[in-house]
């Protein structure tokens, strides 16, 4: 928990060339952040040992005071990690050297390297999931505003990238909203119940601490605000996979929204656009362009996440009590997965809060479809008089005639080869016109938008302290 003595916010390192795209937002899984999380774990362990009577009085405070990441040489620790396969042995020695002997004796007592790194991973995941959740909430708020403002804004629906029946932009935004809220919920579930301390010693028995081991583990978990597992989980990697999978789910939601935005922002469609200004969205070659930068950046992040999750899942096959290599394979993919999801979520807030729908363009594109997206509605009008198969065939024939003649569906129905059959069936031109009105064929779109907004309001209410 952030108010505990051992916690210090992760220290940001100088940005890399691509960090503006891939490391946006508040998630930090840099080497410095990992180091501080490891030091927080070592400090919390010293405090737990002292509380259990297994370390000298004052040892916990002394270790906590010394456990500042910026006081250690990150590069040197990384180089020394090559000797032992991970940086913890060198880190524990360096931390002990900075302490008086009675406090140094509490450093790493009873622990193994995996205990420190796994617990650090849980701390990083908790901070990352909180940051991602906050940005998903911001994106959801923006999506809710769009859904409410455009509840009845007509646009063409598209299935399999082809024009389908009419929808509303409010329904599109409501779909985004529901996905964001559900992703937030899953992140919160994982953060609240699946992030647990790791403390098992050399082979998961805590033999070095004897009967006091479980009590120390419980105190360590309390110090860090993590759950207490039933037993150490050195080779049970479900917690890692669940954290990654929750992020992958959120990433999938974000990627879907961003893909919609890129498609709707195409020049030939132009139904939405991202905010511009200050050269945003510009091209190095084409001065006229305004690219949907935020949507593109979201996709650049989310496209990387499935492969990272696959690596975590592959690494879950771990032998005996401690793995040879599979555990090591998790460190970078886990950090990258958290970082990419966090960056995508941060970009999504920017994307949705600055998104400008164009209702006039939506209506123009809908009208340009010539009424053909309403063919299903017309067939439904004819079905009681002609029967469903005959009605379908008549509308299909009228559509083909209209397409060949370069005319809208209305003309194919009222002036095409089967126009007489409509009159004989008692179908009037006014009824045809009414059936071709897209506003009359929206089904439960408005009700679905209202339901999504109501569910979002409940989510927001439940999130309030």
Question: Does 261 lie in the same domain as 148?
Answer: yes
What lies within 8 Å, CB to CB, of 73 at 6+ separation is: none
Total structural domains within the chain: 3
The whole-angstrom distance between residue 57's C-alpha and the CA centroid of its chain comes to 44
What pLDDT is stored for residue 465 in this prediction? 75
Mean local confidence (pLDDT), 271-289: 67
What pLDDT is stored for residue 11 in this prediction? 38
Q: Which two tokens mark 382?
A: 């004819």
Last residue of a domain, one of 111, 130, 151: 111
Residues 220-276: pLDDT tens digits? 999 999 999 999 999 999 999 999 999 999 999 999 999 999 999 999 999 999 987
Residue 284 in any domain: the answer is yes
Distance CA 67, CA 94 (A): 10
In the chain, pLDDT over 70 holds for what percent of residues?
94
What pLDDT is stored for residue 389 in this prediction? 95
Under the banding of pLDDT at 50, 70 and 90, the label for residue 6 is very low
Residue 447 in any domain: the answer is no
Question: Does 117 lie in the same domain as 93?
Answer: no
Question: Does 326 lie in the same domain as 188?
Answer: yes
User: Which candidate in 283, 314, 388, 458 is catalytic?
Assistant: 283
Mean local confidence (pLDDT), 425-442: 94
Residue 365 in any domain: the answer is no
For 4, other C-beta atoms within 10 Å of its C-beta total 15
Residues 366-418: pLDDT tens digits? 999 999 999 999 999 999 999 999 999 999 999 999 999 999 999 999 999 99
For 23, other C-beta atoms within 10 Å of its C-beta total 21
Question: Does 157 lie in the same domain as 78?
Answer: no
Question: Does 36 lie in the same domain as 93?
Answer: yes
Name the E strands within 169-283: 272-273
CATH number, domain at 343? 1.20.200.10
Under the banding of pLDDT at 50, 70 and 90, the label for residue 1 is very low
Range of the domain at 422: 372-435
Mean pLDDT lowest among 115-124, 284-293, 327-336, 392-401: 284-293
- Residue 358 near residue 273 (C-beta atoms within 8 A): yes
Under the banding of pLDDT at 50, 70 and 90, the label for residue 287 is low
Last residue of a domain, one of 359, 381, 415: 359
Residue 303 in any domain: the answer is yes
Residue 441 in any domain: the answer is no
| Catalytic residue check, 322 | yes
Residue 324 buriedness (CB in 10 A; 0-12 / 13-18 / 19+): exposed
What lies within 8 Å, CB to CB, of 382 at 6+ separation is: 390, 391, 394, 395, 422, 425, 427
Residue 349 in any domain: the answer is yes
What pLDDT is stored for residue 226 in this prediction? 98
User: Which candidate in 8, 322, 361, 363 is catalytic?
Assistant: 322
* Phi, psi (deg, nearest 5) at residue 187: -60, -45
What lies within 8 Å, CB to CB, of 284 at 6+ separation is: none
Measured at the alpha carbon of residue 338, what is the angle toward residues 335 and 339, in degrees to the nearest 5? 85
Question: Does 123 lie in the same domain as 71?
Answer: no
What pLDDT is stored for residue 281 in this prediction? 58
Question: Does 167 lie in the same domain as 297?
Answer: yes
Question: Does 130 lie in the same domain as 107?
Answer: no
Residues 162-209: pLDDT tens digits? 999 999 999 999 999 999 999 999 999 999 999 999 999 999 999 999
Question: Does 335 lie in the same domain as 254?
Answer: yes
Question: Does 90 lie in the same domain as 31?
Answer: yes
Beta bridge partners of 158: 163
What pLDDT is stored for residue 82 in this prediction? 95
What pLDDT is stored for residue 276 in this prediction? 72
Residue 73 in any domain: the answer is yes
Per the prediction, the chain carries an average pLDDT of 94
Residue 353 in any domain: the answer is yes
What pLDDT is stored for residue 425 in this prediction? 87
What pLDDT is stored for residue 27 in this prediction? 97
Furthest-apart CA atoms within the chain: distance in Å: 102
Question: Does 133 lie in the same domain as 240?
Answer: yes
Of 456, 442, 445, 463, residue with least CA distance to 178: 456
Question: Does 120 lie in the same domain as 100?
Answer: no
| Catalytic residue check, 363 | no
What pLDDT is stored for residue 278 in this prediction? 65
Last residue of a domain, one of 111, 145, 163: 111
Mean local confidence (pLDDT), 69-80: 96
CATH number, domain at 382? 1.10.40
Residue 10 has pLDDT above 50, yes or no: no
What pLDDT is stored for residue 285 in this prediction? 55
What pLDDT is stored for residue 14 in this prediction? 54
Torsion of CA 119, 120, 126, 131, to 10 degrees: -170
């Amino acid at each position: 928990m952030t108010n505990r003595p051992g916690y210090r916010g992760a220290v940001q390192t100088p940005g890399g060339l691509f960090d503006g795209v891939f490391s946006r937002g508040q998630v930090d899984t840099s080497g410095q952040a990992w180091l501080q999380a490891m030091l927080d774990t070592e400090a919390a362990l010293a405090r737990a040992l002292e509380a259990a009577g297994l370390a000298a009085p004052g040892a916990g405070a002394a270790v906590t005071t010394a456990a500042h990441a910026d006081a250690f040489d990150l590069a040197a620790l990384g180089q020394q990690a090559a000797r032992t396969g991970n940086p913890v042995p060198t880190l524990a020695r360096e931390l002990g050297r900075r302490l008086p002997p009675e406090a140094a004796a509490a450093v790493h007592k009873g622990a193994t390297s995996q205990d420190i790194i796994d617990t650090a991973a849980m701390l990083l995941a908790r901070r990352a999931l909180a940051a991602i959740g906050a940005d998903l909430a911001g994106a959801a708020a923006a999506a809710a505003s769009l859904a409410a403002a455009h509840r009845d804004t007509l646009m063409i629906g598209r299935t399999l990238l082809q024009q389908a029946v009419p929808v509303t932009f409010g329904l599109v935004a409501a779909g985004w909203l529901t996905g964001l809220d559900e992703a937030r919920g899953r992140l919160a579930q994982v953060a609240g119940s699946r992030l647990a301390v790791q403390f098992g010693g050399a082979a998961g028995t805590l033999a070095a601490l004897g009967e006091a081991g479980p009590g120390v583990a419980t105190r360590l978990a309390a110090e860090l605000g993590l759950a207490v597992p039933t037993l150490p989980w050195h080779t049970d990697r479900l917690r890692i996979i669940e954290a990654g999978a929750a992020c992958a789910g959120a990433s999938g939601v974000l990627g879907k929204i961003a893909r919609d935005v890129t498609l709707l922002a195409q020049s030939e469609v132009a139904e939405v656009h991202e905010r511009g200004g200050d050269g945003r969205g510009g091209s190095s070659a084409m001065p006229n362009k305004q690219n949907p930068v935020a949507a593109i950046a979201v996709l650049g992040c989310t496209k990387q996440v499935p492969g990272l999750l696959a690596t975590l899942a592959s690494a879950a096959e771990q032998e005996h009590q401690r793995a040879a290599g599979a555990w090591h394979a998790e460190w970078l993919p886990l950090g990258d997965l958290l970082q990419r999801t966090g960056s995508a979520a941060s970009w999504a807030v920017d994307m949705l809060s600055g998104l400008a729908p164009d209702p006039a363009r939506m209506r123009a594109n809908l009208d340009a479809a010539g009424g053909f997206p309403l063919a299903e509605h017309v067939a439904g009008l004819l079905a009681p008089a002609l029967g469903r198969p005959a009605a379908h065939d008549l509308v299909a024939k009228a559509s083909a005639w209209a397409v060949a003649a370069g005319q809208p569906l209305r003309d194919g129905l009222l002036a095409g080869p089967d126009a007489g059959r409509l009159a004989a069936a008692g179908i009037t031109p006014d009824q045809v016109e009414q059936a071709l009105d897209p506003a009359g064929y929206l089904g439960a779109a408005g009700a679905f938008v209202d339901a999504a907004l109501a569910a979002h309001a409940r989510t927001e209410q439940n999130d309030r302290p």
